[in-house]
Amino acid sequence: MAESEERKKRTPKDLGIRLLSGTIYVVLFLVLLMLGRVSTALFISIVAGIAAFEFFRMMTLDGKQPNSALGILAAILYPFAALIGGQTLMLGLTFILIACLLIWYVFYPLTRITDVAVTLFGAMYIGLMLSSFVLIRAGIHGYSGGWVALAVFACAGICDSLAYLLGSRFGKHKMVPKISPKKSWEGFWAGIVGSVLVWCLVPMVTQGTLNVTYPWAILTGIVCGIVDLLGDLAESRIKRGAGVKDAGSIMPGHGGILDRIDSLILVSFASYLMLKLAGAL
């Protein structure tokens, strides 16, 4: 009942604002993505910083006391670490982050180990995992790198869109109603199909320059479709724990940045792993 009443309250102006803010986000992302590795890392760094701020704000509302400044700084630095030094520098940054958190824990008696854990999780969940997008863009040279990174971005977007559109139209079997009432198994399978279709385009657009076969593309699409859902559900659980509807309000009509990239975080990480296993990176 509450959902239907909320839909009735939406006006054409609200939908227009939602469409405009979403379009600006997508266009900006795609332009900077195709410009090159540096612009991609810069955009991911800004997005990661805002998303980390929203995450730690929700953790505070949920009764935790994270070191938000340290966690946000690490999230901002991870994409540049991925660009400059790849996995080695990212590992080094993780070591520095853990060392700083342990110093904070040892010398500030009021700090709880849960606060340390939440800070580390937030920085790595958002900053480190989202930086996989930068590793993909920087690891595949030429236009192929841009096309593959675009496929990762499109995979998350199309998977979410098909799951919502077909799930809301044909969804009868609810998945986890206590966490996300709108999610259905029908929508989930629609998202899997969308993800597979996107990844099947990768061998085609890269014209054989990338070591990704069609069977591996199908498997990658299935894996990405599954983690896409997991990322969405995980953020829904976080928001319920914090007692908020949206992670933030920076994107009118959409909520926060974390609301937009919750699926992309895991999809980018899974995509990197699958490309690495395929020998494409």
Kindly state whether residue 74 falls inside one of the protein's structural domains.
yes
Would you say residue 233 lies in a domain? Answer: yes
Q: Is residue 6 part of a domain?
A: no
Q: Are 198 and 226 in contact (CB under 8 A)?
A: no
pLDDT higher than 70, residue 218: yes
Structural tokens at position 274? 């699958």
For the entire predicted model, the pTM comes to 0.86
The parent domain of residue 243 ranges over: 18-278
Whether 9 maps to a domain, the answer reads no
Phi and psi at 62, nearest 5°, equal -90, 10
Residue 70 maps to a domain: yes
Position 7 in a domain: no
How many domains does the chain contain in total? Answer: 1
What is the distance between the terminal CA atoms of the chain, rounded to a whole angstrom? 49
Q: Give residue 7's pLDDT.
A: 42
> Mind listing the pLDDT tens digit for each residue in 105-160?
999 989 999 999 999 999 999 999 999 999 999 888 777 788 888 889 888 888 88
Q: Nearest Cα to 145, choosing from 15, 275, 3, 11?
A: 275
